């Protein structure tokens, strides 16, 4: 009988959908990211806005979780969370983090590294009040990353804050946005025979330098 681990070891996929070269890619990484993200959206991939956030705590142990990008521009990549969560506590002690998008169907990965900062209170307020009511109540109801006795705690908290705030819950002070200020980008396109395309963009005296990495 074949063991599960042996079956996993023999899984193979040939990447042959597209290529990524220096001539056809954008000179600025943000433009390349916007192009790829738009293609992922147009392809109707499941949650093309999902990204993994990696942080490192004071104990030097890395941790990852999946969040949703909520905006991007020349300043950086924006997402929102509970500042008292594990990721929030880790970012308070070490503001450097990494993001990763994995668009499986397009055989593409984007990695972004840099320093995190909180967005302004005004930006957090604007986004918070654009969310559905149940999501705004949920920001109050969930003591994110804390141990709770059971799901009943969340249900009771949601009922409590729903009754307290009705249709106008304010943004909790412990909830808001982060912006990653990119210092390095990497774009990965799967290719045949494992000879993948990897283009890295890094800052050099305020200018983005584009270079190819071996796969």
Q: Count CA atoms closer than 13 A to 181's CA, side-chain side.
A: 9
Catalytic residue among 179, 191, 194, 198: 194
CB 189 within 8 Å of CB 108:
yes
Tell me 146's DSSP state: S
Q: Is 210 a catalytic residue?
A: no
Query: Using H for helix, E for strand and C for coil, what is the string for 75-136?
Result: CEEEEEEECCCHHHHHHHHCCEEEEEEEEHHHCEEEEEEEEEEECCHHHHHHHHCCCCHHHH
Q: How many CB atoms lie within 10 A of CB 22?
A: 11
**What string of DSSP letters covers 147-202?**
--S-HHHHHHHHHHHHHHHTT-PPPPTTEEEEEEEEEEEEEEE--GGG--EEEEEE
Q: Catalytic positions, please?
A: 194
């Amino acid at each position: 009988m074949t063991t599960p681990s042996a079956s996993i070891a023999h899984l193979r996929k040939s990447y042959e959908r597209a290529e990524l070269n220096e001539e056809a890619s954008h000179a600025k990484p943000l433009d390349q990211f916007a192009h790829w993200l738009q293609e992922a959206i147009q392809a109707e991939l499941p949650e093309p806005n999902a990204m993994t956030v990696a942080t490192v705590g004071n104990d030097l142990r890395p941790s990852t979780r999946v969040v949703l990008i909520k905006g991007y521009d020349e300043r950086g990549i924006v997402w929102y969370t509970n500042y008292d969560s594990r990721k929030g506590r880790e970012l308070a002690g070490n503001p450097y983090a990494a993001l990763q998008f994995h668009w499986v169907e397009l055989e593409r990965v984007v990695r972004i590294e840099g320093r995190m900062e909180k967005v302004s209170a005004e930006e957090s307020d604007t986004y918070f009040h654009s969310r559905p009511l149940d999501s705004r109540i949920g920001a109050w109801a969930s003591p994110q990353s804390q141990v709770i006795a059971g799901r009943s705690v969340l249900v009771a908290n949601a009922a409590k804050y729903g009754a307290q705030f009705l249709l106008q819950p304010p943004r909790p002070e412990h909830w808001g946005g982060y912006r990653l200020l990119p210092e390095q980008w990497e774009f990965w396109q799967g290719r045949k025979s494992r000879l993948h395309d990897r283009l890295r963009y890094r800052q050099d005296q305020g200018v983005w330098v584009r270079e190819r990495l071996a796969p």
